Structure 1
Amino acid sequence: MSKLLLENGILVFADLILEKGYLYIEDRKIVHLGQGTLDVSEDVCRIDLKGKYISPGFIDMHVHGGGGSDFMDGTVEAFLKVSETHVRYGTTAMCPTTLTAEKDHIYTVMDVYKEALPKNTKGASWLGLHLEGPYLSMGQRGAQDPKYIRNPDEKEYQDILGYSDHIVRWSAAPELPGALPFASYLQSKGVIPALAHSDALFEEVLEGFKGGFRLATHFYSAMSTIVRKDAKRYAGVIEAGYYLDDMDVEIIADGVHVPSSLMKLIYKIKGSEHIALVTDAMRAAAMPEGPSVLGRLADGLPVIVEEGVAKLPDRSAFAGSVATANQLVKNYMHLADVTLTEAVRMITETPARILGVSDTKGSLQRGKDADVVVFDRDLEVYMTIVEGQVRYERTASV
């Protein structure tokens, strides 16, 4: 469909809801939008939404897998499967995310990303790779494989960034030796340094922030808080994340990683303009509960999926989320008493700003990419449009 008119819908903007709205798409862009009706030529496909919501497409900055596949599987088929799974839940753009692994396999994943990119015609689009690790704190490794965790290595990260120009963000612990030069080098290459799996003290986070670590990966998960040493209290990453007004934070709003009380606190302090909702989903997203694997299927970490989350077999730690994007929006509304506009902003406009794609994505505006999701009052997705192409439709007609 090169020309598509969505009409009789409810337009969702960052600060308002517009009833009886329409949105006209042509040549992969949003051309017109407004309230009422729009006269169009007979060659335009018209869809009566019957009062459903028209929202900017959801942007997932941190996702590992879904539908039984993981990006670490290192195959084109796996990449496409993850993308096609999440598009059914409103994700129109995502950052495929790696786990700690041997260097050769990271190169394989980067090769596969490049190979799969032109073949990704049925799922959510890709905004670039997110490398999570291996420069992480051993004490906050979570479910990351400890045998690959190490301090930043200048030659290694320069080689990796020289190998692929598809890396857009890299998560690491800012307190590690060499982390600040690492962050500086990332910024020189246009890559976002993100704070993750960190045991840093408050002061170390402040130094990291000055050095470029201005995004906290999965806030509250695998990061330090107040500790006592020699009877004295020391603040950690979480306290610094609140203190730094301009620190952006990711939230896995599956209702398990971060409970309702903390979701409310984060929203009250940071506001929707500094919160990005992410799934951090692993391969079991959109799959039945039971045994699964975190990371590469061949030699990944066995996990058990139960109670809406993946856990290590001994239940000692979470091992990734099985959330989908529409669930994140619904959860933040219901568990943190946030309005629809604010919840949508946290998975559209805010991540678009963080990733530097606000000029083309993240809001319903004329001239922007036609990344659109249609959902009902229960956040059930009925249609997902990626750059003007309908890539998921729940029924033959909405």
Structure 2
Amino acid sequence: MNSLYIKNGNVFLNGGFEKTNITVSDGIITGISSEDQAPEGAAVYDATGKTVVPGFIDLHTHGAVNVDVNAATAEDLEKISHFFATQGTTSWLCSVLTDTREQTLWCIGQFREHQKMESNGADLMGIHLEGPFLAAEYKGAMPEHLLMNRPDMELLREYQEAADGAIRYITVSPEVEGVTESIGNMKELGMTVGIGHSGADYDTAMKAIENGAATATHTFNAMKLMHQHFPAIMGAVLESDIYCEAICDGRHLHPAVVRLLLKVKGIDKVVAVTDSIMATGLPDGKYKLGVNDIVVVDGDAKLAVGGSRAGSTLTTGTALKNILKFTGLPLEKALLLLTENPAKLIGVFDRKGSIEAGKYADLVILNEENDVEDTFVKGKQIQK
């Protein structure tokens, strides 16, 4: 039995912080106690003066360290997983940008191959499909010629069967003919449904939400914004109780908009995502996002043709510090956007998203400046 003992940490428990010790056996938290009793033979990590928080969960990312998810082999996915873990991410979904059927199935196949590997990084929990049932007018970095003007449920079933049920999340546009009527079918396939890349009117967006859409993809970005006479999808997203993704890099959303989103939706309905691309962790330069050419200047990723913003170079560790800076929230509140909220959105809160006995020992050690100092994924310390 592999055991770990983290002692004297300022641990995030039940919405607050407590100086305590954590015992881990075979990747599972088995005990939390103020009594200092390390199990015999356990590896001991001294967290004195450090903060111990749940691992960060990133539900929307297209890559990092020169690897684009749409072209990533199983080994490439492991490179992303390891890099993410060094930044505080302990669980993630790989976001497959709209692509051909053949390439999408290839991506799913590489994900399956990665599942067979012993990972030394963040837990790749599943797949996020961003498309292909998206509105061309709000395509962003989506290749327009590959978008589909109505849902093909047989194709989606083929994808989910190929993934052995691992497609956990899909982004669709409510105004695409047949989408709102198909949301229930997507949920039956095991997918959390998000709405985005959309210019849907208020009523159409609300119908999608009534039919089971659970979140909005990169809220405010690539969607029709609210007008006092025509609230559109943005109005429906803000008024309803669905979750909202937020890219907190200071570029996709002004800090005031992050504050406004939290004020309107409440702290428990905002999910911080990176929407990161292969340039993350690397210098400025030329990169790819799916079939698109991307240019990164001063860390800002844009399409080489047209200049639309195309993903980010954000990490979850930086996102946390940005949220703290933008909002003035205490750490115990800001953490929810990266831990509990995403875990609840995709239905994994029974085993991830908080520090509790019986859950995976997905833990991040923060220093006094809230920088990520160390990361544990299922009890394994990730070496940088």
Fold-level similarity (TM above 0.5): yes
Name the aligned partner's letter for residue 90 of structure 1: G
Name the aligned partner's letter for residue 265 of structure 2: K
SS in 1 for 2:281: coil
Of the three residues 249, 265, 271, the one matched with 1:270 is 265
The CA distance in 2 between the partners of 1:291 and 1:189, in whole Å, is: 37
Is the contact made by 2:274 and 2:312 (CA closer than 8 Å) also made in structure 1?
yes
SS in 2 for 1:130: strand
2:301 equivalent to 1:310 = yes
Name the aligned partner's letter for residue 2 of structure 1: N
Question: Once the 2 structures are TM-superposed, how far is the Cα of residue 14 of structure 1 from its aligned partner?
Answer: 5.4
Name the aligned partner's letter for residue 275 of structure 1: V
The CA distance in 2 between the partners of 1:22 and 1:289, in whole Å, is: 42
Could you tell me which residue of structure 2 aligns to residue 181 of structure 1?
Answer: 181
Q: Deviations over 1:91-145 (max 9, x none)?
A: 1100111001111100001111111112141111121111001111111111111
Question: Once the 2 structures are TM-superposed, how far is the Cα of residue 289 of structure 1 from its aligned partner?
Answer: 1.6
Structure 2, unaligned runs of 5 or more: none
Name the aligned partner's letter for residue 21 of structure 2: Y
Could you tell me which residue of structure 2 aligns to residue 280 of structure 1?
Answer: 275
Q: Taking every aligned residue pair, what percent have the same amino acid on both sides?
A: 29
Is the contact made by 2:174 and 2:208 (CA closer than 8 Å) also made in structure 1?
yes
Name the aligned partner's letter for residue 181 of structure 2: P
Is the contact made by 1:74 and 1:108 (CA closer than 8 Å) also made in structure 2?
no
Q: Deviations over 1:8-61 (max 9, x none)?
A: 22112352122x3221111211112244x4212441221212311101011111
The CA distance in 2 between the partners of 1:285 and 1:120, in whole Å, is: 24
Could you tell me which residue of structure 2 aligns to residue 258 of structure 1?
Answer: 253
Could you tell me which residue of structure 1 aligns to residue 330 of structure 2?
Answer: 339
Inter-CA distance 314–161: structure 2 relative to 1 (3 Å threshold): closer
The CA distance in 2 between the partners of 1:41 and 1:12, in whole Å, is: 22
The CA distance in 1 between the partners of 2:132 and 2:39, in whole Å, is: 55
Question: Once the 2 structures are TM-superposed, how far is the Cα of residue 184 of structure 1 from its aligned partner?
Answer: 1.4
Q: Deviations over 1:210-257 (max 9, x none)?
A: 111121011111011135xxxx9311122111100x210111111111
The CA distance in 2 between the partners of 1:127 and 1:154, in whole Å, is: 23
Please, which moves more after superposition, 312-321 or 341-350?
312-321
The CA distance in 2 between the partners of 1:111 and 1:87, in whole Å, is: 23
Is the contact made by 2:23 and 2:38 (CA closer than 8 Å) also made in structure 1?
no
Question: Once the 2 structures are TM-superposed, how far is the Cα of residue 203 of structure 1 from its aligned partner?
Answer: 1.0
Q: Deviations over 1:56-108 (max 9, x none)?
A: 01111111101110111141122111111111101110011100111110000
Of the three residues 115, 135, 138, the one matched with 1:137 is 135
2:365 equivalent to 1:374 = yes
Is the contact made by 1:62 and 1:95 (CA closer than 8 Å) also made in structure 2?
yes
Name the aligned partner's letter for residue 160 of structure 2: L
The CA distance in 2 between the partners of 1:377 and 1:218, in whole Å, is: 30
SS in 2 for 1:226: coil
Could you tell me which residue of structure 2 aligns to residue 68 of structure 1?
Answer: 66
Could you tell me which residue of structure 1 aligns to residue 319 of structure 2?
Answer: 328
Could you tell me which residue of structure 1 aligns to residue 84 of structure 2?
Answer: 86
**Residues matched between the structures, number:** 382
The CA distance in 1 between the partners of 2:3 and 2:118, in whole Å, is: 21
Could you tell me which residue of structure 1 aligns to residue 208 of structure 2?
Answer: 208
Question: Once the 2 structures are TM-superposed, how far is the Cα of residue 209 of structure 1 from its aligned partner?
Answer: 0.4
2:364 equivalent to 1:365 = no
SS in 2 for 1:262: helix
Name the aligned partner's letter for residue 156 of structure 2: Y
Question: Once the 2 structures are TM-superposed, how far is the Cα of residue 336 of structure 1 from its aligned partner?
Answer: 1.5
SS in 1 for 2:169: strand
Question: 1:33-44 residue pairs with structure 2 within 5 A?
Answer: 33-35=32-34, 37-44=35-42
Name the aligned partner's letter for residue 178 of structure 1: G
Of the three residues 109, 120, 123, the one matched with 1:122 is 120
Could you tell me which residue of structure 2 aligns to residue 169 of structure 1?
Answer: 169
The CA distance in 2 between the partners of 1:14 and 1:320, in whole Å, is: 34
Could you tell me which residue of structure 1 aligns to residue 46 of structure 2?
Answer: 48
SS in 1 for 2:140: coil
**TM-score, length-scaled by structure 2:** 0.95
Name the aligned partner's letter for residue 193 of structure 1: V
SS in 1 for 2:382: strand
Question: 1:105-120 residue pairs with structure 2 within 5 A?
Answer: 105-120=103-118
**TM-score, length-scaled by structure 1:** 0.92
The CA distance in 2 between the partners of 1:314 and 1:120, in whole Å, is: 39
* 4+ residue segments displaced more than 3 Å: none
2:226 equivalent to 1:235 = no
Structure 1, unaligned runs of 5 or more: none
The CA distance in 2 between the partners of 1:273 and 1:120, in whole Å, is: 34
Is the contact made by 2:58 and 2:93 (CA closer than 8 Å) also made in structure 1?
yes
Could you tell me which residue of structure 2 aligns to residue 57 of structure 1?
Answer: 55
The CA distance in 2 between the partners of 1:336 and 1:45, in whole Å, is: 38
Name the aligned partner's letter for residue 212 of structure 1: G
Name the aligned partner's letter for residue 370 of structure 1: A
